[in-house]
Amino acid sequence: MGKMYEGVTGVFSGKVGPVVGYMWRNRYCIRAYRRTVNYPNTESQQKQRDWFVSMVRFASQATEALKMGFRQLSMDAQMTEGNYFVMSNKQHFHRENGTVKVDYDKLRIAAGAAADVYFKTPQFEQDETVVVGFEKNSLSLRASGDDSVYIYIYAPALGSGILSAPVARKARQLRMRLPETWAGHDVHIYGFVADKEGRASNSTYIGPGRVNHNEERGRYMPIDGNWQEFVTLAQGSSSSHTPTAEKTANKGAETVQNDAEPPGIP
């Protein structure tokens, strides 16, 4: 049952026939529901739904990041942060060979007037740890050392994403530990800044990578813009399991690691 306020020309809440009145972000709104829905389920409609579902799935996993990244712009546009993401990124979701492909390097999860930072190449350490360094953008004069820096990591194979805890801009580094179940999975990393006024910066696509678990699973480094396996330390298989043989195998693996690592790889 709907309730009317301030007479016939005023606002109302509740349902009156197919019309529903409600409040959203301190605004009174109304909407109508269709009593019947045509659902022919044609091939064209199936493709359209797959395309739309892929965008909504990404947005639903990035809810925390989008609420900060698109807060102001979505309020100005009078829509939710998720809908603003879809509106801003729909051109980066497209069908190819019967499946929906995503241009992850072109997605934007934040936008605004806050000063951004220059993100460095991410480093994937053992125990599912990702480290991203950053520096002040020399073109930004309005930056504050107390602004909050975030990274958002998304794993397509898992259909899951995680927003980091914030660190101050003056920290110059953000370290994030991912769940152990993410080990071995490819990920995409995004970064942005939120200032004291709650404004976000434009997001940056920091890069792709693969989550590492320990030294035996290998290390990864950027080659031609992509993260590829640098060196994998094989566990020696031997019929002898004596402590001496085990130490020799470990020492040999350590030598392979040290000899293979170029300068600058931690």
Q: Are residues 53 and 18 in the same domain?
A: no
Is 228 inside a domain boundary?
no
- Residue 85 exposure: Cα atoms within 13 Å on the Cβ side: 28
Residue with tokens 């797959």: 50
| 113 token code pair | 């007037």
- pLDDT number for residue 43: 75
- pLDDT number for residue 235: 37
pTM for the predicted model, two decimal places: 0.68
Q: Are residues 147 and 264 in the same domain?
A: no
Q: Are residues 16 and 127 in the same domain?
A: no
- pLDDT number for residue 210: 94
Please tell me the total count of domains within the chain: 3
- Give CA–CA dist 149/101, Å, rounded: 29
Is 254 inside a domain boundary?
yes
- The residue segments making up the domain with residue 138 are 43-210
Checking DSSP bridges between strand 160-163 and strand 27-32, what pairing results, if any? unpaired
Is 20 inside a domain boundary?
yes
| CB-based contact 64:82 (threshold 8 Å) | no
- 217 SS3 class: helix
Is 168 inside a domain boundary?
yes
Q: Are residues 28 and 51 in the same domain?
A: no
Q: Are residues 12 and 50 in the same domain?
A: no
Q: Are residues 122 and 176 in the same domain?
A: yes
Q: Are residues 108 and 199 in the same domain?
A: yes
Q: Are residues 185 and 247 in the same domain?
A: no
Collect the ranges in the chain with pLDDT lower than 70.
1-18, 22-26, 28, 30, 33-40, 138-142, 214-266
- pLDDT number for residue 12: 59
Structure confidence by residue, pLDDT tens digits, 20-34: 776 666 676 767 766
- pLDDT number for residue 19: 76
Is 149 inside a domain boundary?
yes
